[in-house]
Chain A
Amino acid sequence: MSFTSRQVSIAGSMLHYRIAGPETAPTLLFLHGAGGADSALGVLAGFTDRWQVIVPDHPGFGASADPEWLDTIHDAAYAYLDFLEALDLRQVHLVGSSLGGWLAMEIAIRDASRLARLTLIAAAGIRPGDIPTGDLFMWSPEERVRHTIADPQLAEKILAMPQTPEQAEIALRNHFTTAKLAWEPRFFDPHLDKWLHRLRLPVQVIWGEQDRLFPLELGRKLAALMPAARFDVIPGCGHVPTVENPALLSALLREFQGSAP
């Protein structure tokens, strides 16, 4: 099933989202990472038989407008609380990848009343402390691919794919907005861990074993902050399981969806 493009006004700013799947089905809301939503659409399409899948472009990313009010990750989180209300979404399975995982936590600690489950894939958000992380902003576009994809052959394949001027423009916008939200502190909110106990819904943490941006150790640290969370490791996978192992990622998501709340 293919996605339909829609937009909604959030706090006076246009937010673009893609939607697919039966209207009556439960909602899977996917929050993309720093690179944008495109690379996740393939794996998400596999869920549109039983789920209404919604994939927004964050404010300042993709086809969404760049709002005046966007200064921090918290602004984006409040915008999504508005979004959940605007679309009247309930019992949502919120799935966030990387930057989107951080955003998902910021949303859920503020108000989880419209959420049923939370999946965090290679999520940013907590203080890495002594755990060495990669520097997305020091890496060239090519290095970003090589360091986030564990399989060198797959990295080559991705690098060989031609980029249209429109895609290049969006990549530049995405990178700018990522800096705005995540430059300092670098991909975390020093106050987030104080409030993770507010996540009383079922939580799943998924991590690529070979993640070089946010190493597996950071995943374990995050999972340890939420003792009730399940922690799934994808062997041999880098930072982007949606691209590198969509089959296992899908299976893990389904397993979590099928488990008792």
Chain B
Amino acid sequence: MKFTLFHLMPYADLDLEEAAKYPTAWVHTPNRLYDPQKGARLYNRYLDELELGEQLGFDGVAVNEHHQTAYGIMPSPIVTASALARRTRTAKIAILGSAIPLRNHPLTLAEEHAMIDNITEGRLITGFVRGIGAEYHAWGTNPAFSHERFHEAHDLIIAAWTRPGPFRWSRKHYHFEYVNLWPRPYQQPHPPIWIPSQGSTETIEWAADPSRRYTYLQTFSPLKSVRKYLEQYRETAARKGWTASDDKLGWAIPVYVADTDEQARREAKVHFENFRNRFLKMPIEMLLPPGYSSIESMRGIAKAKAQITGDITLEIAVEMGMFFCGSVATVREQIGAAWQDMRVGHMLPMLQFGTLPAELTEANIRRFAGEVIPYLRRLTASTTASTSAPASTPTTASSTTASRPAA
């Protein structure tokens, strides 16, 4: 198992009372609530936290992209990844991901990712996403063409990285007379590609195609969904004729570790609930603009609505396995059990969430790195050595329950 420290970089200093006058922290909340003095301190604090992650032994650090929101002040993960490129030495830098359909000129992303890959001498992990629905309101991009543009932008970027240039690109959405990338990526044929998703059959079918074999990353979902989609990825790969190794599967989840379960819940509660119920929450029209999802999936709208527009308490999130929160022993056991059950090769703990302040975040990072990671490295090394991964027979995964640490 490998560990990547994931950060959303929320605007944690948001005036929550003032922000409560708006139904969501996305698109509508006026940017007068952003104080550049506070924002500058937050950027530097968050970058320090990621750099600390490398020093404490994380395999990688991860950034992502959201627009016009207090949920995350990284409209360009290129900027944060670039800032990390020269301040880190060994950690992978994962951009999870760049919202490629939002760009009218996706070649800029091919260039920027290639630059970071060169500067870091091959430490870049590239991620491609469509961006969540709100991005299409913020950015103006037509959601009806989101899927088309995602696929065409992806194909263009891969071609730019792998095909000898110059060549012409002309499909439906993008037209370039000369595609001839300087620089070419450092890693050949291109950086590893991860696909973050909230769970979608379309995405899994695409990512698990034998021509791609991209690492599938389930983000902030109930444990039940994580298991379902990770298994679906293995099954899909098997159906397509290849065996997905553990490192093709990843899971991003907020985690908080303290001395005791009680202390962890007490310290994390307000900050987690701010993350979930203040920063993430948005109306369904913003989350799922017309065309962003297929008409077929929009029929299940009630389900999505309940998940995102209602409030969730810390207790419920813990119960649903959307948040690991507890003592070192508890968190070890929870992630260990997930490993035994799902053989997920990449854990991406989000150790700052919502309004979690600097001190608690640093303590959380230190506990996770110092006490959780070493335990899990030993556990996963020993189980990998002694048992075969349930790669091609995912249905046996649940039968390993017996070998879980005692619950």
Contacts and interface: CB of A to CB of B under 8 A. Distances in A.
Interface in B203-250: none
Contact of B291 (A138, A140, A176): A176
Nearest to A140: B285
Contacts of A140: 283-285
Contacts of B143: 179, 183
A137 B144 contact: no
Contacts of B291: 176, 179-180, 183
Contacts of A137: 137, 285, 289-290
A71 B285 CA distance: 22
Contacts of A179: 142-144, 289-291
A246 B145 CA distance: 37
Interface in B239-290: 283-286, 289-290
A178 interface: yes
A220 interface: no
Contacts of B136: 183
B141 interface: yes
The 8 nearest A-B residue pairs measured at CB: A180-B144, A179-B290, A183-B142, A176-B290, A175-B290, A184-B140, A179-B144, A184-B142
Interface of B: 136-137, 140-145, 283-286, 289-291, 295, 298-299
A184 B138 CA distance: 12
Interface of A: 71, 137-140, 172-173, 175-176, 178-180, 183-184
A183 B286 CA distance: 13
A183 B133 CA distance: 13
Contacts of A172: 290, 295, 298-299
Nearest to B293: A176
Nearest to A183: B142
B140 A138 contact: no
Contact of A138 (B145, B286, B295, B299): B286
Contacts of B286: 138
Contacts of A176: 144, 290-291, 295
A71 B143 CA distance: 12
Contacts of B289: 137, 179, 183
